[in-house]
């Protein structure tokens, strides 16, 4: 009986080192790299991808010191209460940017020009309204009564469309922007003596139209009062609009808001901020949507 033949196992010839180098390496499973870091670097500083702050969700504050309060006491209130408390008591309910400026005490400032100005950005206009449902915001708000006159006020702006209505703020750029992250320049001015208010407002509107059309600035907010103009500009270096606006004024103050972070919290022992005439701050703090990351 013949034995069944067995098949010899096939032996592959060992490839030479040279041949092995030519063979393509086995592909690994592709991993999609996150572009979050890359896009964050490419994104302009004034734009945050995680939250789009609407350009009209800003309260434009023009405050006049009460004559019953000495200027020294006014500065004490600002440094020990109002400016730090705005950050500490309103961030949790949706404050996104706070840029206060204090022209009070600056040489030759006309009484008709505000003693304090500020822009306060929120998640939305509704966010600001909802804040009054909280005890913290109601408590913060009623502390202002003895410090400011009845002429003091804050308003939401509307999109600038070529004309300025005295007493009504306007924003120039209809796009989201993060005013905390960027260079903010602020002009406060008074018109020359004997200037007709409608004519002054018309001249300011012409300057604003130029800034808006050139598109160099990432943001712009303006308001003309009875005898003053206030204008904030975000990242508009190189645009001549600020110079044009300043040329219309008889008296003016131009400041670049200084990024400032509070060194203490609401319950810490702390004497308060150092605030001098003409100071302008771009307050730095963690927003509530940043804490959710």
Contact between 210 and 244 (Cβ < 8 Å): yes
pLDDT tier, 200 (very low <50, low <70, confident <90, very high otherwise): very high
Is residue 16 domain-resident?
A: no
Is residue 43 domain-resident?
A: no
- Residue with the two structure tokens 């964050």: 40
Helix (H, G, I), strand (E, B) or coil at 65: strand
71-128, pLDDT tens digit by residue?
999 999 999 999 999 999 999 999 999 999 999 999 999 999 999 999 999 999 999 9
Judged against a pLDDT cut of 50, whether residue 4 lies above it is answered with: no
Query: Model-level pTM?
Result: 0.82
Cα angle vertex 74, ends 68, 75, to 5°?
165
CATH of the domain at 124: 3.30.70.100
Is residue 10 domain-resident?
A: no
Beta strands 281-284; 258-261: pairing state: parallel
Is residue 124 domain-resident?
A: yes
- Residue with the two structure tokens 């080192």: 17
pLDDT of residue 173: 97
Is residue 30 domain-resident?
A: no
Is residue 72 domain-resident?
A: yes
Judged against a pLDDT cut of 80, whether residue 14 lies above it is answered with: no
Is residue 17 domain-resident?
A: no
Give the chain's domain count: 1
Q: Which domain holds residue 273?
A: 58-291
Strand partners, 61: 118, 154
Is residue 2 domain-resident?
A: no
Alpha-carbon span 68 to 149, nearest angstrom: 9
């Amino acid at each position: 009986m013949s034995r069944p033949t067995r098949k010899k196992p096939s032996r592959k010839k060992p490839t030479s080192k040279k041949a092995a180098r030519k063979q393509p390496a086995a592909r690994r499973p592709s991993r999609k790299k996150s572009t979050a870091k890359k896009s964050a670097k490419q994104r302009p500083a004034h734009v945050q991808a995680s939250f789009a702050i609407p350009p009209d969700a800003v309260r434009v504050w023009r405050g006049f010191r009460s004559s019953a309060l000495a200027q020294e006491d006014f500065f004490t209130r600002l440094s020990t209460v109002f400016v730090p408390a705005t950050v500490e008591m309103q961030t949790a309910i949706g404050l996104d940017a706070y840029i206060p400026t204090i022209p009070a005490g600056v040489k030759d400032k006309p009484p008709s020009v505000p003693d304090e100005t500020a822009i306060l950005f929120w998640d939305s206009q509704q966010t600001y309204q909802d804040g009054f449902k909280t005890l913290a915001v109601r408590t913060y708000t009623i502390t202002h009564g003895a410090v400011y006159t009845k002429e003091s006020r804050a308003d939401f702006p509307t999109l600038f469309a070529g004309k300025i209505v005295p007493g009504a703020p306007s924003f120039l750029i209809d796009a989201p922007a993060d005013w905390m992250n960027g260079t903010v320049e602020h002009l406060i001015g008074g018109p020359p003596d004997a200037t007709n208010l409608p004519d002054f407002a018309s001249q300011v509107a012409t300057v604003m139209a130029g800034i808006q059309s050139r598109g160099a600035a990432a943001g712009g907010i303006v308001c003309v009062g009875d005898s003053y103009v206030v204008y904030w500009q975000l990242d508009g270096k190189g645009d001549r609009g600020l110079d044009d606006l300043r040329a219309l004024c008889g008296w003016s103050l131009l400041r670049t808001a200084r990024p400032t972070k509070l060194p203490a919290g609401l319950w810490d022992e702390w004497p308060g901020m150092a605030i001098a005439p003409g100071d302008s701050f771009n307050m730095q703090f963690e927003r509530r949507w940043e804490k959710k990351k």
